[in-house]
A and B are shown apart, each in its own frame.
Chain A
Amino acid sequence: MLSVNVQLQRGDFTLDARFDAPTPGVTALFGRSGCGKTSLINVIAGLTADGAGKVCLDDECWLDTPADIRRRAEQRHVGYVFQDARLFPHYSVRGNLEYGARRVKGTVTAGLFDDVVALLGLSALLARRPGGLSGGEKQRVALGRALLSQPRLLLLDEPLSSLDAARREEVLPYLERLRDHFAIPMVYVSHQFDEILRLATHVVVMDAGRVTATGELGSVSRSSALQAIVGADAMGAVIDGRVTSVDAASGLAEVAIGQGLLRVPAGSLSPGQDLRVQLLARDLILAVTEPHGLSVRNQLRGVVRGIASSGGNDLVEVECAGVTLLSRVTGAATRELELTIGTPVWVLVKAVSVSGLAH
């Protein structure tokens, strides 16, 4: 477990963040620009000279000010992928990759170099200088360099934010591969929720230097702390499911979520595949009586578990088939349907509104 409890003062800005994150796994630090995400991971990495509190990975503490422990950054074995790659311009790509690998104390995993080079597709770049690489290539080299230092924890500070959309799509699959291939705990800083949807298992939401929500992606996806940052339109329950069948004739696939089934566009899905879906709250319709004769492909029975009002609209939490969904309805609708906690409802989800992310 990565356990963080950190305080840092920078002029008017106060960072006071605490969270525990399971390891291995990808923990996303999510928040607006300037909310203290980078400051926080710099404290975790030891790049910030001050900063009080505790940073412990499993039974090893890198920072523990009450016990007067402040391990130097170079002794923490933390891999850090910076926003701007920060490759050494005077070394070749190979030299950059080997820089950290050479400084690993103790056993060096045999074959790791070839493994990382193959995984990140770097073999054609090895002899080149970083100056001539594209942004996406630079970030892949930076990832490889960090991995080859055999870190106990990998910190990624918005590694995709300096790339355009096409380059992001080019690098994201590499990040997914690396997550699945190595059991290195990762902390992924981002202000793009779609990256978090693709990569994270655990989310820490930050706002103005504080942690406002923390937990598994599914539960954080329904939190008001998240809504404060992404806005009501982008809110939606995130659910991990598995494709059970694909019907080529109807063009629909069935995805098991909890004990229920969700029909989604088949696309390129194949049976047995893990799929993460986000059901946007604004796309979900609630009915208090069983509806008939609708085009909607998904009609799930559930019970209202919570109602949160904001700005004339209500965000209704509905538990169906073992998962919790979010639906956004107007306050007027809530009153008319007499929705309260415990009301049985039908949740209607258009198949085409569901976008799945291979996971």
Chain B
Amino acid sequence: MGNLTDFMNLGEAEISALKLSLAVAARSVAMSLVPAICIAWLLTRRRFPGRTLFDAMVHLPLVLPPVVVGYLLLLLLGTRGPLGGFLDRHFGVQLVFTTLGAAIATAVMSFPLMVRSMRIALENVDRGLEDAARTLGAGPWDRFVTVTLPLMMPGVLAGAVTAFAAGLGEFGAVITFVSNIPGETRTLPLALYTALQTPDGNATAARLAMLSLGLGLAGLLIAEVLARGLRRWLGR
């Protein structure tokens, strides 16, 4: 029994990693939710030249090694990168080595996942209901807000929770882009990796692994429960 309390007794560094992971995942979901809905809408509802290429680009993070994504972000958003330099000079915003940078790397990695759920959600919306709203005098934005979006909600929430759960564990892109700084960018998987590199770090690594497992499972369960509740609310 003593061993178990000992085992689950998280140290300060581990609690910091847990909090940081939650913060990074939450921010990444917050920043990718609206763009994901917009892009899902574009990809399902609009036909435009270059649509297939655009679709492939959105899905790239899914097939690229995360290290490559982190490296590309570094090239683009690093202080010497075109966008990163601009942000640094004009707004004093630095992304490298910061929690915000970690959130951006996480958001880019989980973006295809998010877009995919939004697309499925959107495809499940009966377009006949949107037509009905049109005949009742609702313009495009009005229809989207009052009909399409509420009916998409189960998929949107499921997508957000899944992306959040996946975001807790983003490793390669984060460590490449924003490095491994305690309290700033050292999230759960990075802390786990660090523990494995440390002599006598095995117990810490095991604890962190258990924690990640629990969080991931909880995330998936919450997503399912939420989706079910919403579907009931929608009367389906």
Say if A and B assemble together. yes
List chain A positions with a Cβ less than 8 A from chain B.
45-47, 72-80, 82, 84, 86, 88-90, 99-100, 103-105, 129-132, 145-146, 149
| With A88-B147, A89-B151, A89-B236: A99-B128 Cβ-Cβ less than 8 Å | no
**Is B133 positioned at the interface, with any CB of A under 8 Å from its CB?**
yes
Cross-chain contact B133 with A78 (CB below 8 angstroms): no
Cross-chain contact A103 with B137 (CB below 8 angstroms): yes
**Is B235 positioned at the interface, with any CB of A under 8 Å from its CB?**
yes
Selected from A47, A129, A146, the residue in CB contact (under 8 A) with B235 is A129
Selected from A86, A131, A149, the residue in CB contact (under 8 A) with B137 is A149
| With A82-B128, A130-B235, A131-B236: A90-B135 Cβ-Cβ less than 8 Å | no
Cross-chain contact B128 with A84 (CB below 8 angstroms): yes
Query: Among B131, B136, B147, B150, which residue has the most Cβ atoms of chain A within 10 A?
Result: B136
Q: A19 to nearest B CB, angstroms?
A: 21
CB neighbours (8 Å) of A149 from chain B are 135-137
**Is B91 positioned at the interface, with any CB of A under 8 Å from its CB?**
no
Distance in angstroms between the alpha carbons of A181 and B225 in the assembled complex: 48
Distance in angstroms between the alpha carbons of A67 and B137 in the assembled complex: 24
How many A-B pairs with Cβ below 8 Å? 69
Cross-chain contact A131 with B235 (CB below 8 angstroms): yes
Cross-chain contact A47 with B134 (CB below 8 angstroms): yes
Q: B232 to nearest A CB, angstroms?
A: 9
Q: A254 to nearest B CB, angstroms?
A: 45
Within 96-135 of B, Cβ neighbours of A (below 8 Å) are at 126, 128-129, 131-135
Cross-chain contact B128 with A74 (CB below 8 angstroms): no
Within 198-226 of B, Cβ neighbours of A (below 8 Å) are at none
CB neighbours (8 Å) of A79 from chain B are 135
Q: B89 to nearest A CB, angstroms?
A: 45
CB neighbours (8 Å) of A72 from chain B are 134, 139
CB neighbours (8 Å) of B235 from chain A are 89-90, 129-132
Query: A86: nearest residue on chain B (CB-CB)?
Result: B132
Show 6 A/B contacts (Cβ-Cβ < 8 Å), sorted by A.
Answer: A47-B134, A72-B134, A80-B132, A82-B131, A103-B137, A105-B137
Q: B145 to nearest A CB, angstroms?
A: 12
Within 121-175 of B, Cβ neighbours of A (below 8 Å) are at 126, 128-129, 131-139, 142, 146-147, 150-151
- In which size bucket is the chain B interface? 20 to 34
Q: A238 to nearest B CB, angstroms?
A: 31
Selected from B137, B142, B150, the residue in CB contact (under 8 A) with A90 is B150
CB neighbours (8 Å) of B137 from chain A are 74-75, 77, 100, 103-105, 149
CB neighbours (8 Å) of A46 from chain B are 134
Distance in angstroms between the alpha carbons of A99 and B128 in the assembled complex: 15
CB neighbours (8 Å) of A131 from chain B are 235-236
Query: Among A80, A89, A131, which residue has the most Cβ atoms of chain B within 10 A?
Result: A89
**Is B93 positioned at the interface, with any CB of A under 8 Å from its CB?**
no
Distance in angstroms between the alpha carbons of A86 and B126 in the assembled complex: 9
| With A103-B138, A104-B137: A90-B233 Cβ-Cβ less than 8 Å | yes
Selected from B131, B136, B233, the residue in CB contact (under 8 A) with A99 is B136
Query: B134: nearest residue on chain A (CB-CB)?
Result: A73
Q: Which 8 A-B pairs have the closest CB atoms?
A: A131-B235, A103-B137, A100-B136, A80-B135, A86-B132, A73-B134, A89-B235, A129-B235
Cross-chain contact B135 with A73 (CB below 8 angstroms): yes
Cross-chain contact A45 with B128 (CB below 8 angstroms): no
Q: A43 to nearest B CB, angstroms?
A: 13
CB neighbours (8 Å) of A89 from chain B are 151, 234-236
Q: A355 to nearest B CB, angstroms?
A: 36
Query: A145: nearest residue on chain B (CB-CB)?
Result: B136
| With A88-B129, A90-B151: A47-B135 Cβ-Cβ less than 8 Å | yes
Cross-chain contact A146 with B135 (CB below 8 angstroms): yes
Distance in angstroms between the alpha carbons of A146 and B137 in the assembled complex: 10
| With A88-B147, A90-B233, A131-B235: A74-B139 Cβ-Cβ less than 8 Å | yes
CB neighbours (8 Å) of A105 from chain B are 137
CB neighbours (8 Å) of A146 from chain B are 135-136
CB neighbours (8 Å) of A88 from chain B are 129, 132-133, 147
CB neighbours (8 Å) of B234 from chain A are 89-90
Distance in angstroms between the alpha carbons of A86 and B135 in the assembled complex: 12
Cross-chain contact A47 with B131 (CB below 8 angstroms): yes
Selected from B133, B135, B150, B236, the residue in CB contact (under 8 A) with A45 is B135
CB neighbours (8 Å) of A103 from chain B are 136-138, 142
Distance in angstroms between the alpha carbons of A200 and B135 in the assembled complex: 23
Q: B2 to nearest A CB, angstroms?
A: 53
CB neighbours (8 Å) of B151 from chain A are 89-90
Distance in angstroms between the alpha carbons of A82 and B126 in the assembled complex: 13
CB neighbours (8 Å) of B236 from chain A are 89, 131
CB neighbours (8 Å) of B133 from chain A are 88, 99
Distance in angstroms between the alpha carbons of A82 and B138 in the assembled complex: 17
Q: A77 to nearest B CB, angstroms?
A: 7
CB neighbours (8 Å) of B128 from chain A are 82, 84, 86
